[in-house]
Structure 1
Amino acid sequence: MKLNLTPDCGNAPKKELIKNLTIHFASYDLKKAMPYLADQVTWTLVGEAPIVGKQNFREALEAMSGNKASELTIHTIITHGKEAAVKGEMLMQDGSSFGFADFYVFTSAKGQLVKSIVSYVIAKGNSI
């Protein structure tokens, strides 16, 4: 997968975590992503019913894994306290592309486990 990342100052561990989680989710690398999720994580794809629990989260991602991202662009990552947000775009293997914004809440301000994710995803034209 081709990565397009905005340079960062490199001194923000939560930004690094969010960057890596975004890459893991886009490539469906669940072995690397799952350890960062709380057991009762909630994932809300806006417009759909929330997915609750680590196993349900895994199953939902596995169901989507047939069309991996061939290119991922991360424009912005913002963190503050127990919260973080990432904005970017994905070009998928089938040629479709999406803009996304994910909003994270951690179980604590240390940012070690993700408690909830709210994802806004919108289909785009053919380029990113």
Structure 2
Amino acid sequence: METKQQVFLKRLNEAFANSELEFILDAVTDDIQWTIVGDRVISGKEPFAKSLREMASPQPMKLEIRHMVTHGREAVVEGSMISPEGKNYSFCDIYSFNGFKDPKIKAMKSYVFEI
């Protein structure tokens, strides 16, 4: 049985795959910090939103979640996404939440590479 946090993270990753920006933006704090390892660090909700718009795909990506670990205020999701053009990306995201009651993501660290 999935926990509430696992259900949320599955839905969040589906939102990334489907470019559902409103859902993603509602899930993060105003001071979100997103580290895309080897690429950039994005600080704040508006720069985060701008980056999401730039990365948005006009068609849904195929998502496969292989592992999900949650513990307290932290979680990890590992899987892959295939773009409509056939590019295959493997990812591992580490999430930090701002609390337990109606938590929002305050930090993300993403390891992403094309395979």
* Structure 2: runs of 5 or more not aligned: none
Q: Deviations over 1:84-106 (max 9, x none)?
A: 01000111011110110000000
Q: Does 1:46 align with 2:37?
A: yes
Q: CA deviation at 1:109?
A: 3.4
Which of 81, 85, 92 lines up with 2:76 in the alignment?
Answer: 85
Cα RMSD of the aligned pairs, angstroms, is 1.4
**Runs of 4+ residues deviating >4 angstroms:** none
Aligned to 1:3: none
Give the structure-2-normalised TM-score: 0.93
Q: How far off its partner does 1:17 sit?
A: 0.8
Task: Quote how far apart the aligned CAs of 1:42 are.
Answer: 0.3
> For the residues of structure 1 that align with 2:102 and 2:80, how far apart are their CA atoms?
24
SS of match in other structure, 2:61: strand
Aligned residues: 115
SS at match of 1:108: coil
Q: Confirm or deny that 1:35 pairs with 2:26.
A: yes
Moved more, 65-74 or 26-35: 65-74
Q: TM-score normalized by structure 1?
A: 0.84
After superposition, residues 3-14 of structure 1 pair within 5 angstroms as: 9-10=1-2, 12-14=3-5
Change (3 A) 1:67 1:95: farther
